[in-house]
Amino acid sequence: MLGEGARTAADADNYFKAYADAIAAVGKFQAAGKFPRPSGISVKLSALHARYEMAQRERVMKEMVPRLVALCEQAARHDIPLTIDAEEADRLQLSLEVATALLDTASIDGWNGLGFAVQAYQKRAPVVIDFITELARAKNRRLMVRLVKGAYWDTEIKRAQERGWDDFPVFTRKAGTDVSYLACVKRMLGASEWIDPVFGTHNAMTAAHILELTREPGRIEFQRLHGMGEELHQLIRKEGFGTGVYAPVGNHEVLLSYLVRRILENGANSSFVHRLYDRSIPIEELTADPVAEMEAYAQKSHPLIRRAPQLYEPQRKNSQGLDLADPFVTGPLLNEIEEFAKLPAAYVPAASAADLKDMFGAAQRNFTSWTRVPVDIRAKYLERLADLIEKHRSELMSLLIHEAKRSIPDALSEVREAADNCRYYAMRAREDFRIYDLPGPTGERNQIRLVGRGVFACISPWNFPLAIFLGQVAAALVAGNTVIAKPAPQTPLIAWRVKQLIYEAGIPGDAFHLAPGGPEVGQQLIELPGLAGVVFTGSFATARKINLTLAQKDGPIIPFIAETGGQNALIVDSSALPEQVVDDVVLGSFRSAGQRCSALRVLYLPEATADKILTMLIGAMLELRIGDPAKLENDVGPVIDKAAQEKLLLHVERLQSEAKQICAVPLARECDSGTFVAPQAWEIPAIGWLEGEVFGPILHVIRYHPGILNRVIDEINATGFGLTGGAHSRIESTVRHIERDLAVGNFYVNRSLIGAVVGVQPFGGEGLSGTGPKAGGPHYLPRFATERVTSENLTAAGGNASLLIAASK
């Protein structure tokens, strides 16, 4: 059944019905003898549940398995086989649990028609076959296994890199997959008592190998995709094997993306079908033995496909991620997080005016000694700090979850961002703080270099209390400044713990000072005479206040680096894929309860497809789970505090009287006790109707006619903010048009607006959104430093020695 997988409960209902209808139709045709051979059905589990993912395991077992059982019962009645397709690697574990549950179901006990697809490109494939064999043996029934190589290879590679996993779940050499396939074939043939083998391949060499290994062709079936491998199957049939066709079913809308996928797969250089039709490839190469090929490689993994840890080498180490779909990872992680939460919280007193004065005195006195520490050593401190951050990952995640109300995936990505910040600025500092020679007349040496400025004030918000707090501090320190950092009053514990790690990394205590407290402490900090610079992240209103204060101070005019809010808009056109739009909108607007500066605030939908997208969006929103962020199954936690909640609810009141509600996710009883705000979407007349940034899980939607695209862009620009923005379109010229005209710091195409990665998507806005330079980008550190140039007359000692020597050669 073609399609993108269910995003909503209604999608899942429709797919369920479509599968049930298909089983009935196939059963009827079969009974009437209209098929030349017995036929069955393949089911994608992601179509039967909108949240078919490990984090929603309980729901899947409770809600999806009964549906699957119903389909199996129906298939059993019609006596047709049902095979469960294999999908993404992070769903494998869950699918095996589903398989186990199915085999425990009495109503389909005597039925031998159940089958599972196994992907040979996954490194776990042979073990999966063993598992299925064991399952069949334990339940005393035969199971069908359809061995395929796997259709999501590129997705798996990208995901593993993005998520920072140590290794890939799939092989990176094509021959590796081919060898794995053969190993699985052997295992399947060896388990003939329990397994009915089916081989899905269009590769004649793979098929030939199977032919060689087989003693009983009559027991084995080959299958191919409709439209491919017909000649191969003709030959195979002559050898006495059964053959079958896997035929996609669906309407023209979903067919297109399936066909594009096929073209990509068959067009790949590594594809057998592609090579078969390439006359320049000799037959010997086409029929090369994959085992010999793998043996010949000194390096078994593909050298051009970097594992996540090596992604940025040799410049820097990447931060480490975790597979949150792996219960062997999440089990211990959740335990540790809980254990840390039980520890008594430290009391972090606010800094007094006297404290600030003392801190400033110490920071000022120690500036010279710190700034003279060679940049390479300063960079090493940061690298050590990054390692410490990762070493204490569970503890920091625990603090992030309990103090800042971050969800588990958010907490993990924030720890990664903090470590990345340290390593990236260490790397940049070594580059930026070198002495550079400048061209000039002979007999003279001209050099430029960067040096620290003095005491820097770092003021950060609560919404990234680790990554932004530490990012500012790391940059200021490595640039040779001493630092007084003021965290947000909502998140002092995280800051306190990071302070200890900063010292543990070896950074001298007098180079870094923590000044906890609220706005008053911040105000006193920036008023300190002699401050050399201020770096700030927070709201525009605060940035403005700080700017005014600094302007009125005596003494030198100092740098002020400000990163502020946004009015982030996404423009969708009618060519965009609705499922992709909905995925990215849900992620961009509601992840972190919308409390990211980059979050999507205003969604522009084209009149032609708005209703369709909104229907799907409502369904997807209703699938969100809201609750305690310490639980893996919850997608959205509370907002930071009562004040934030009240401010958001006030905005909702205005929406109620002036806008049209699209959806508000009902909150469960458990949310009554926390500062929860329901994820919600409202249709508003224009972006200008908003009075400022709405910092929470509230999405605003505006319909537009494609004819006024320029006006839409002008309206967004007219807000004055310029942080993130995006386009969802499959028309290249539309994307380039919006990219050119939309004045935003970070522009995202066909993806969500959140999740900028250090060094990969340097982050920061323009206009009301910030002064620049971008955090995590190549121009950040120089802003924390001052430039000095030395010009030296080399002839002063009596003559231009180097010129005379050069000329004499």
> Chain-centre distance of CA 331, in angstroms?
21
CB of 153 to ligand FAD, least distance (A): 4
# residues near ligand FAD by CB under 6 A:
33
Query: What are the φ/ψ torsions at residue 229 (nearest 5 degrees)?
Result: 65, 25
Q: CB of 772 within 8 A of CB of 762?
A: no
Distance, in Å, from the CA atom of 507 to the CA atom of 72, rounded to the nearest integer, reads 63
771 binds, among ligand NAD, ligand FAD, none (CB under 5 to 8 A by kind): none
Distance, in Å, from the CA atom of 741 to the CA atom of 523, rounded to the nearest integer, reads 37
Of the two residues 273 and 396, which places its CB atom closer to ligand FAD in the complex?
273
Piece of the chain touching ligand NAD by CB under 6 A; list 30-38, 46-54, 212-220, 532-540 = 532-540
How would you label 354-391 residue by residue, b for 16+ Cβ within 10 Å and e otherwise?
ebbeebbebbbebbeebbebebeebbbbbbbbbbbbbe
Piece of the chain touching ligand NAD by CB under 6 A; list 31-39, 425-433, 486-494, 796-804 = 486-494
Q: Of 143, 458, 526, 753, which lies in the binding site for ligand NAD, with binding defined by CB under 6 A? A: 526
Q: CB of 718 within 8 A of CB of 741?
A: no
CB of 121 to ligand FAD, least distance (A): 4
- List the structure tokens of 210: 């199977």
Asked if 223 touches ligand FAD (CB under 6 A), the answer is yes
DSSP 744: -
Helix (H, G, I), strand (E, B) or coil at 694: coil
Piece of the chain touching ligand FAD by CB under 6 A; list 148-156, 447-455, 536-544, 734-742 = 148-156
Q: CB of 619 within 8 A of CB of 10?
A: yes
177 binds, among ligand FAD, ligand NAD, none (CB under 5 to 8 A by kind): ligand FAD
How would you label 10-46 residue by residue, b for 16+ Cβ within 10 Å and e otherwise?
ebbeebbeebbebbeebbeebeeeeeeeebbbbbbbb
Asked if 233 touches ligand FAD (CB under 6 A), the answer is no
Contact string 32-71 vs ligand FAD (x = CB under 6 A): ----------------------------------------
DSSP 778: T
Kindly name the residue from 72, 184, 422, 597 that is annotated as catalytic. Answer: 597
Piece of the chain touching ligand NAD by CB under 6 A; list 75-83, 204-212, 382-390, 538-546 = 538-546
∠ Cα 419 424 429 (to 5°): 130
Asked if 695 touches ligand NAD (CB under 6 A), the answer is yes
Those residues whose C-beta lies under 8 Å from the C-beta of residue 82, and which sit 6 or more positions away, are: 23, 40, 41, 42, 43, 71, 72, 75, 113, 114, 115
CB of 42 to ligand FAD, least distance (A): 7
Helix (H, G, I), strand (E, B) or coil at 187: helix
Q: Kindly give the interhelix angle for 467-478 and 492-504, rounded to the nearest 10 degrees.
A: 40
Of the two residues 246 and 763, which places its CB atom closer to ligand FAD in the complex?
246
Of the two residues 95 and 564, which places its CB atom closer to ligand NAD in the complex?
564
Of the two residues 179 and 644, which places its CB atom closer to ligand FAD in the complex?
179
539 binds, among ligand FAD, ligand NAD, none (CB under 5 to 8 A by kind): ligand NAD
Distance, in Å, from the CA atom of 7 to the CA atom of 310, rounded to the nearest integer, reads 34
Per the annotation, the verdict on 563 as an active-site residue is yes
Q: CB of 600 within 8 A of CB of 591?
A: no
CB of 180 to ligand FAD, least distance (A): 9
Distance, in Å, from the CA atom of 608 to the CA atom of 589, rounded to the nearest integer, reads 22
Of the two residues 476 and 663, which places its CB atom closer to ligand NAD in the complex?
476
Contact string 594-633 vs ligand NAD (x = CB under 6 A): ---x------------------------------------
462 binds, among ligand NAD, ligand FAD, none (CB under 5 to 8 A by kind): ligand NAD
Closest Cα to residue 423, out of 794, 756, 758, 754?
Answer: 758
Piece of the chain touching ligand FAD by CB under 6 A; list 113-121, 557-565, 612-620, 698-706 = 113-121
Contact string 741-770 vs ligand NAD (x = CB under 6 A): -----------------------xx---xx
Whose tokens are 């074939």? That residue is: 185
Alpha-carbon separation of residue 380 from 171, 217, 506 (angstroms): 35, 64, 9
Restricted to residues 244-303, the positions that interact with ligand FAD (CB under 6 A) are 246, 265, 270-272, 302
The residues that bridge with 772 in the sheet, in sequence order, are none
User: E strands along 247-395, which residues?
Assistant: none
Q: CB of 437 within 8 A of CB of 513?
A: no
Asked if 163 touches ligand FAD (CB under 6 A), the answer is no
Asked if 42 touches ligand NAD (CB under 6 A), the answer is no
DSSP 750: S
Restricted to residues 365-404, the positions that interact with ligand NAD (CB under 6 A) are none
Closest Cα to residue 597, out of 566, 551, 559?
Answer: 566
Asked if 538 touches ligand NAD (CB under 6 A), the answer is yes
Asked if 563 touches ligand NAD (CB under 6 A), the answer is yes
DSSP 343: S
Piece of the chain touching ligand FAD by CB under 6 A; list 53-61, 149-157, 407-415, 563-571 = 149-157
Q: Enumerate the active-site residues.
A: 563, 597
Residues forming contacts to ligand FAD in the complex (CB under 6 A) are 85-86, 117, 119, 121, 146, 148-153, 170-174, 176-177, 200-203, 206, 223-225, 246, 265, 270-272, 302
Binding site for ligand NAD (CB under 6 A): 459-464, 468, 486, 488-489, 518-519, 522-523, 526, 537-539, 542, 545-546, 563-565, 597, 693, 695, 723, 764-765, 769-770
